[in-house]
Amino acid sequence: MPFQKNPRIDADVELLLGRFRDLIPDGRLIAHEEIEGLLKLTRKQSRYRTITAKWRRILLTEQRVFLDGRSATGAGFIALTPDEMIRYSNKRVRQVGRILRKAIQVASLPDPSELKSSEMRNYQARLFVACEQLTRTHKAVLVDLTKALQPPRQLPRAVNGHA
């Protein structure tokens, strides 16, 4: 049985696009209560999450507006400013680096002789090769990116006129 799209989802997304058609990346907060009132749904319902996810995806791809729910700390969504978008992306890239390091660490725990099948041993080896290629290829770039948005280091304080 083929998956059928729910036309009511598209209609609700259009309702949000119409109500918030003037959105620009200016840091404004769009409260969950306002969206809930429009959709007549609560934020805990999966339909609400489906509609807002699609709405946010359209805003991102078509209007270049990124709505971040995490920085709104449960109050709704914030239309990140261009500078905030760069900070958000930097934080996510660093997060991916940490996730990748942990995944490599976990995958290296089992000795190949402990794995039950040759397919799993082959997959472990391929996983290590892929991860090694990723880290070797992008390590310098990731280090540069991480340093780029860190605050500049303070110079040591002068003590009695000496540095």
Q: What is the pTM of this model?
A: 0.70
> Rounded to whole angstroms, how far apart are CA atoms 104 and 43?
36
Rounded to an integer, the average pLDDT of 35-44 is 95
pLDDT at 155: 67
Q: Write the pLDDT tens digit of every residue in 41-60.
A: 999 999 999 999 999 999 99
Helix (H) or strand (E) holding 5: none
pLDDT at 163 over 60: no
Q: Write the pLDDT tens digit of every residue in 118-146.
A: 999 999 889 888 887 877 787 777 677 66
The encoded tokens of residue 77 equal 């969504």
> Burial letters for 16-33: b for 16+ Cβ neighbours within 10 Å, e otherwise?
bbeebeebebeeeebebe
